[in-house]
């Protein structure tokens, strides 16, 4: 297992990155204060104050599981805002981004890799992330195989197959693509065959059941699946672990009224985790609170990875 430090990883990524390109929002949004996220509209006619707020959590695992996990928190947001709050079970990152872009999603947790696209194309304003009591946060990308697969190091993947999750996922596609290219000189399609499972749990189960010889996944998802006995540790072997990346961010649609956005933020930071379903689920990853974050600061490494992969954000 190899751990890549943040400094080493960024240096390696920037070796293959194109010349620095300024992060740009889609045409329908403005960023006059330079914080890289959409400004709240100043024209009252462009603001919305819906009677029912829709929340969606990033589609990393079974949505039915997370509807129950999040219910107590959504009740807290409902009490704080005086509005109905509903859980929306999205099936893909693309569907989640499109829902916010179309005005059907007001509060969301977007996965690490989809944050730049959600910010650029859907007017997403992230402000929070889960963390431990000491303020520590994040997860690592790991590349897994199964015992006796014939794969004991990254080089053994050459000429074979590697499972990714989706192209908008950081740990499920963006980070491993950049790291395999910069660290090992291996490009998808040339040096190995990429396949897409659609989700981290699908990739993990695929390796555990020996349907995939190897897969790139987020180890936070793996930890929760092991804790729930969905897979066991003896079914899997980790051959690579990356630097720590920021985890799912939480935020709102840019055109909610300023007062509503402020109230929603306050609800996140005033939520009592102790004894809650949220704590039971996410304590598995050591997460015990919401902390404030900014897209400009905490997501700088993810924007660097996107640059290394030549990613552009087409908001049409």
pLDDT value at residue 292: 97
Query: Which residue, among 116, 102, 113, 101, has the nearest Cα to 21 in the 3D structure?
Result: 116
- Alpha helices for the chain (secondary structure H): 6-16, 63-81, 93-101, 115-122, 175-184, 200-208, 219-227, 258-270, 277-282, 295-298, 300-308
Half-sphere exposure of 228 (CA within 13 A, CB side): 16
pLDDT value at residue 159: 97
Domains of the chain from N-terminus onward: 16-136+247-308 (3.40.190.10), 139-245 (3.40.190.10)
CA atoms of 125 and 248, how far apart (whole Å):
13
Write a three-state SS string for 57-81: ECCCCCHHHHHHHHHHHHHHHHHHH
Provide the 3-class DSSP secondary structure of residue 46. Answer: helix
- pLDDT tens for the chain, 316 residues long, are 333 333 333 344 433 333 345 788 999 999 999 999 999 999 999 999 999 999 999 887 677 778 999 999 999 999 999 999 999 998 888 999 999 999 999 999 999 999 999 999 999 999 999 999 999 998 999 999 999 999 999 999 999 999 999 988 889 999 999 999 989 999 999 999 999 999 999 999 999 999 999 999 999 999 999 998 999 999 999 999 998 899 999 999 999 999 999 999 999 999 999 999 999 999 988 899 999 999 999 999 899 888 888 888 888 7
pLDDT value at residue 9: 39
pLDDT value at residue 235: 97
User: Kindly report the CA angle at 164 between 96 and 185, in degrees rounded to 5?
Assistant: 130
pLDDT value at residue 46: 97
pLDDT value at residue 4: 33
CA atoms of 61 and 58, how far apart (whole Å):
8
pLDDT value at residue 12: 40
pLDDT value at residue 61: 64
CA atoms of 60 and 193, how far apart (whole Å):
23
Helix (H) or strand (E) holding 140: strand 139-145
């Amino acid at each position: 297992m190899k751990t890549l430090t943040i400094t080493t990883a960024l240096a390696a990524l920037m070796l293959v990155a194109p010349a620095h390109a300024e992060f740009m929002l889609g045409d329908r949004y403005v960023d006059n204060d330079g914080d890289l996220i959409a400004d709240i509209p100043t024209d009252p006619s462009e603001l919305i104050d819906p009677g029912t707020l829709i929340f969606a959590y990033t589609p990393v695992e079974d949505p039915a599981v997370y509807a129950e996990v999040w219910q107590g928190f959504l009740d807290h947001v409902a009490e704080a805002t005086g509005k109905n709050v509903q859980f929306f079970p999205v099936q893909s990152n693309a569907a989640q981004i499109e829902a916010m872009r179309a005005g059907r999603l007001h509060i969301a947790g977007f996965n690490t890799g989809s944050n730049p696209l959600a910010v650029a194309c859907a007017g997403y304003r992230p402000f929070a992330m889960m963390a431990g009591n000491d303020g520590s946060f994040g997860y690592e990308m790991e590349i897994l195989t199964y015992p006796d697969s014939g794969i004991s190091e990254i080089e053994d993947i050459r000429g074979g197959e590697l499972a990714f999750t989706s192209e908008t996922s950081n740990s499920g596609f963006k980070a491993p693509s950049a790291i395999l290219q910069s660290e090992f000189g291996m490009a998808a399609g040339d040096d190995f065959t990429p396949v897409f499972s659609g989700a981290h749990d699908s990739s993990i189960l695929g390796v555990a059941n020996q349907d995939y010889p190897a897969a790139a996944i987020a180890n936070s998802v793996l930890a929760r699946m092991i804790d729930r006995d969905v897979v066991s540790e003896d079914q899997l072997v980790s051959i690579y672990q990356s630097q720590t990346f920021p985890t799912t961010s939480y935020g709102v649609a840019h055109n909610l009224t300023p007062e509503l956005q402020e109230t929603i933020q306050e609800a996140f930071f005033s939520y009592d985790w102790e004894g809650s379903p949220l704590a039971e689920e996410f304590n598995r990853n050591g997460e015990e609170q919401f902390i404030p974050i900014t897209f400009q600061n905490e997501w700088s490494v993810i924007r660097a990875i996107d640059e290394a992969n030549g990613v552009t954000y087409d908001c049409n």
